[in-house]
Amino acid sequence: MDESVRSKDTGSEDEPLVPDDFDEQYYQDLLSKVQRKCLASKDAAQIREQTAQDELNKLKEIVEEHKKEEQYNQLKVELENLQRSHDILQNTLSQHQTDVKIMRTEIKNLVTERNVLRKDRENAVDLRQELLRMHRIVNQERIKTRALQDELLTPMNIHRWRHAKSEKSQVESPKAEVNTKSLEEKSNAAKIEDLKADLFKVKNQLLQERKIKQNCWKRQALMKMQMQCLSAPPQLQVTFNNTGENITSYSKFI
């Protein structure tokens, strides 16, 4: 049988293609074995391919899990940053709400003080009119006093100072009247000084009212700036922080 195979491999043209002792059953068995081996190899290759595909799918799942984990970590970091920013904004908001309450109280106090100063200003107008009236009275009394002094120095109608029953001139009565007038003049001068002092106080109160109004306007402008900063979008957080620092320094300066 081996010789027949060799003759087939090295066969010449004179020799027949099929040997005499050809066993068909043997070759059929050999062919079936080869076919079974091919099928087994094919099945093994399919199994290996399926195993490789499963491993590839597992690797893809692992890569996707790693990507998801990285995305989760990034989202976690972003969430922490957002939470931190939210806490900062919440603290700033509560602080500004407290400032707003304080500002409202200050505005109420300023309104009350303004009303009081307005009444004082009205009283100052009345005091001014009273001062002018007292000035006129004092000037009239001064004129009368000077006239009496001149008349005492150079009496012209001496009979006015005499009694009807007496011939002696009574100089004491004009002197007493002059003393009375001088006392009235002094008292009027004292009243004028008091009125001047009251006017000075009213002027100071008016100046304080102006200063308070200016501070109120400044604080209102400051509150508008703060509300604008609070209503700013999240992407302007850096600008908001810088503005908040500037506002804080400005409020301390005020």
> Does some domain include residue 47?
yes
9 domain-assigned: yes
At 77 the pLDDT is 92
- Which of 83-92, 98-107, 134-143, 226-235 is the least confident region? 226-235
- Sequence-distant (6+) residues with CB within 8 A of 216 are 106, 107, 110
Within a domain: 35:
yes
Q: What is the mean pLDDT of the chain?
A: 72
Whether 171 contacts 149, CB under 8 Å: no
Residue 140 has pLDDT above 50, yes or no: yes
- What mean pLDDT comes out for the span 37-54? 85
Q: Is residue 13 in some structural domain?
A: yes
Beta bridge partners of 162: 169
Can you give the residue range of the structural domain that contains 34?
1-86
Contact status, residue 141 vs residue 181, Cβ threshold 8 Å: yes
Domain count, the chain: 1
Give the angle 235-236-239 at the CA atoms, nearest 5°: 155
Q: What is the pLDDT of residue 230?
A: 65
Residue type, 42: K
Residue 209 belongs to some domain of the structure:
no
Q: What is the predicted pLDDT for the residue at 178?
A: 65
Residue 242 has pLDDT above 80, yes or no: no
The answer to the question of residue 141 being in a domain is: no
Q: What percent of the chain has pLDDT over 70?
A: 68
Kindly state the tokens that stand for 141.
């009394």
**What confidence category does residue 82 fall into, taking pLDDT thresholds of 50, 70 and 90?**
very high
Flag whether 247 is in a domain. Answer: no
Highest average pLDDT, of 13-27, 85-99, 121-135, 145-159, comes from 85-99
**Residue-level pLDDT at 246:** 53
- Greater confidence, 170 or 156? 156
Residue 72 lies in a domain: yes
Higher pLDDT, 86 or 176: 86
Mean pLDDT of 61-72: 88
Give the residue-averaged pLDDT of 30-41. Answer: 84
Using the predicted structure, report yes or no on whether residue 185 has a pLDDT greater than 90: no
- Which residue has tokens 């087994």? 40
> Tell me, what's the pLDDT at 25?
79
Separation of CA 140 from chain center:
64
